[in-house]
Chain A
Amino acid sequence: MDLRELVAAMFLFALIVMPLESLQAQSVRPPANAVNQGIDKQIDEQIGTSNTLGTNSQSDYWRDLRHGKDGLATSGQSGRKLIQAQGEQWRIVRKTYIVKYGGWVLATAIFLIVLFYLIRGKIRLKAGRSGETISRFSLPHRTAHWFMASIFILLSISGLILLLGRTVLMPVIGKNAHSIVASAAMQGHNLFGPLFIVALIWLTFMFIRGNFFQMADLKWILKGGGLLGPHASAGHYNFGEKGWFWLVVIAGSIMAITGMILEFPWLAESLQLLQISVIVHAIGAIALISAALGHIYIGTLGMEGALDSMTTGDVDVVWAKEHHDLWYEEVTGQKVANPEAEGSQSIPDHNQISAQSQTTET
C-alpha cells in the first residue's frame, strides 16, 4: 500500500548482511590467551636462547607486530598492544563506506519518497470522510509512540551531525561553528541514548500484539502492498507496518546494545568491539532513519486520514475500510463492500494535492 515495506526490506537486508560480516571477522580472531601462546612459541622458534644477540633479521617477528601482536605495557591507557592494525580497516570502513554510502542511502530514500509522491500523489480517501470514526490506538499506545518518536528524532538529528557533519555541515558553517554543533550533538546523543532503550521496550510491549505474520500478509506481499496498483487487503497492521515494527524492534535492539557499549566503553573487553559497534551503530542508524522517513511521509503528507490514528486515536470509518478492511470487518462485524473496485480509480491530480496536503486532526 505504501513505500514503507520497500525501504524497510532494503535496509533489513543490509542490516542483516553487514553485522554478519563483522561477526565473521570477529570469530576468526583467536582468544586472547591463544595469541600469547602463539607469540611465545614463535619467539622460542625464531629467536630462542641461541639467538639472544639477535643475529637473525627477525623480520617475521616485527611483521607480526605490525599486524597487532600483543606486548606488555607498563604504562598508559592504550594497553599492551604495540600496533592495533584494525584501526586502519576501521578508518577505511567508516570513511569510505559508511560516511559516503550512508549519506547516499539517505539521499536516495528522500529521492524515492519524492518520486513516489510525484507518481502516486497523496493517497486520498476515495469515498471522502464520513465523519464517523472507530478507535484505532488507545492513549497508552499513542503515548508510547510519541515518546519513541520524540527520542528518535532527537537521536537522529544529533547522530547524523556526528556522522555526516564533517562532510555536509562543516564546509558550510565553518570549523568553529561545526565544532560547537558537534559538541552539542554528542552530549545530547549520549544523554538521550539510554532513554531510547526505555522507549523501545515500552513500544515493543505496546505494539507487539497484531504484528505477527498472517496469511493475509502473503497476499499483501504478492500484490506488492498496493504500492502503485489496487488495494491489498490488510488486518490491523499491513505487512509494511509489521515490517517497520520488526525493523524498529530488531535494528533498535542492535542500536541499543552497540550504543550502550559505546556509551560505557569499559563494557567492551577489546577496542575491536568498540570499532565494530561504531560501524554497526551507523549502519543501523541509516537503516532506521531511512525507513522512518518513509513512515513519517505516509503517516502525515502521504495518506489522508492516517495521522488521526496517532493524534486522536480514532480513524475515519472510510479510512479503515479502504486501508485496513480485514481489521474493519473484525472490529465491526460488517463486510466491506468489494474493496477491489476502489483501486481502479484514477490517480489524483498533484496540484490539488499540494493545496491541501497536511492532514489535520479534528
Chain B
Amino acid sequence: MARMKFLCDAERCIECNSCVTACKNEHEIPWGINRRRVVTLSDGKPGERSISVACMHCSDAPCMAVCPVDCFYQTANGVVLHDKDLCIGCGYCFFACPFGAPQYPQAGNFGSRGKMDKCTFCAGGPEDDHSAEEFKKYGRNRIAEGKLPICAEMCSTKALLAGDGNIVSNIYRERVVGRGFGSGAWGWGRAYIGEGRT
C-alpha cells in the first residue's frame, strides 16, 4: 500500500497561492477557513523562499494523540482523517499540530470554535465515498475517484508534490541531482519520523 505524502519544493514555489485557491474551490470550504496556507520566509530579502503547507498526515500524529474524544484515524494510505460527528471543537489538535493545520469555523468567545476542519488529502471522511454528507463535511473525495490532491495537481511550477511517498521522493531526488544542490524536503523530518526515507 502506498504511503501518501506531501512535499513542497522550496526552490520552485513562487507563492502564487493557487494551491490555497484550488483547495477552497474544490471542497467548497467556507469563508475564513484555509486548509492550506503559503508561508514566505525572508520576505523581500535575498534568499526568499516560499512553502505551501497543510496537514502533513504525520505518521505519529500529535493531533491524534491529544484529541480528548479520539476523533482522528489514519487510513491504510497513511492519511490522517477525522470524524466531525465526534469532534467537540476543543482546539487541542491546533495546540499540538506542528504545522498549524487544524482550522475552525469560529474563533469566537466562550470557546465556541465549532467543528475542526483540515486538509483531508482529498480523501473525504468516514462517511460513504461520494455521498452528499461526506462532501458537505469534508469536501470532495478525489482519492476514491483515483485522483491525487487538487492542490498538487494545480501547482503551476509543480513545487507541491502529493502522492505515494516513494514516487514523490524519487521525483524530488531527481530534481536535486539535476539542480546540483538543495535539501529542504521541508517538513519530512518532523512528519515522517521513523519511516524509511527511500
Contacts and interface: CB of A to CB of B under 8 A. Distances in A.
Check whether chain A touches chain B (CB < 8 angstroms): yes
Interface of A: 39-40, 43-44, 47-49, 51-59, 62, 65-66, 71-85, 87-88, 90-91, 94-95, 162-163, 165-166, 170, 175-176, 178-179, 182-183, 186, 190-191, 262-266, 271, 274-275, 278
A83 B190 contact: yes
Contact of A76 (B34, B42, B112): B34
A53 B82 CA distance: 41
Contacts of A81: 39, 100
A186 B39 contact: no
Contacts of A83: 98-99, 187, 190
Given A71-B51, A74-B40, A87-B96, 15 more contacts: A43-B42, A51-B47, A54-B182, A71-B40, A71-B41, A82-B41, A84-B98, A85-B98, A95-B66, A175-B69, A176-B85, A182-B88, A263-B110, A278-B92, A278-B95
Contacts of B43: 71-72
Category for how many chain B residues contact A: 35 or more
B38 interface: yes
Interface stretch (B101-109, B133-141, B154-162, B163-171): B101-109
B114 to A, nearest CB: 12
Interface of B: 11, 15, 17, 20, 32-34, 36-43, 45-47, 51, 53, 62, 65-71, 85-92, 94-101, 103-104, 107, 109-112, 181-184, 186-187, 189-190
Given A72-B43, A76-B103, A263-B111, A95 B65 contact: yes
A65 B41 contact: yes
B38 A54 contact: no
Nearest to B56: A83
21 contacts: A40-B42, A43-B47, A44-B46, A47-B42, A54-B11, A62-B184, A65-B186, A66-B189, A74-B37, A78-B101, A81-B39, A81-B100, A87-B95, A87-B96, A88-B62, A179-B85, A186-B90, A186-B111, A190-B112, A265-B107, A278-B92
Given A165-B68, A265-B107, A72 B95 contact: no
Contacts of A71: 39-41, 43, 51
Contacts of B101: 78
Main secondary structure of the interface of B (DSSP, over half): loop
A252 B89 CA distance: 25
Contacts of B39: 71-74, 80-82
B75 to A, nearest CB: 17
Nearest to B66: A91
Contact of A62 (B91, B181, B183): B183
B40 A166 contact: no
Contacts, number: 172
A39 B100 contact: no
A176 B95 contact: no
A52 B46 contact: yes
Contacts of B94: 78, 271
Nearest to A79: B100
A79 B100 CA distance: 8
Contact of A75 (B34, B95, B112, B187): B34
Given A84-B98, A162-B68, A191-B110, A72 B183 contact: no
Contact of B37 (A53, A54, A76, A176): A76
Nearest to A170: B70
Contact of B38 (A73, A191, A263, A275): A73
Contact of A266 (B68, B97, B107): B107
B95 A271 contact: yes
A179 B38 contact: no
A103 to B, nearest CB: 14
A166 B69 contact: yes
Nearest to A50: B46
Contacts of A190: 110-112
Nearest to A47: B47
Nearest to A190: B111
A266 B71 CA distance: 25
Nearest to B44: A72
A79 B97 CA distance: 13
A71 B13 CA distance: 14
A165 B65 CA distance: 14
A279 to B, nearest CB: 10
A90 B95 contact: yes
B88 A262 contact: no
Contacts of B95: 87, 90, 271, 274-275, 278
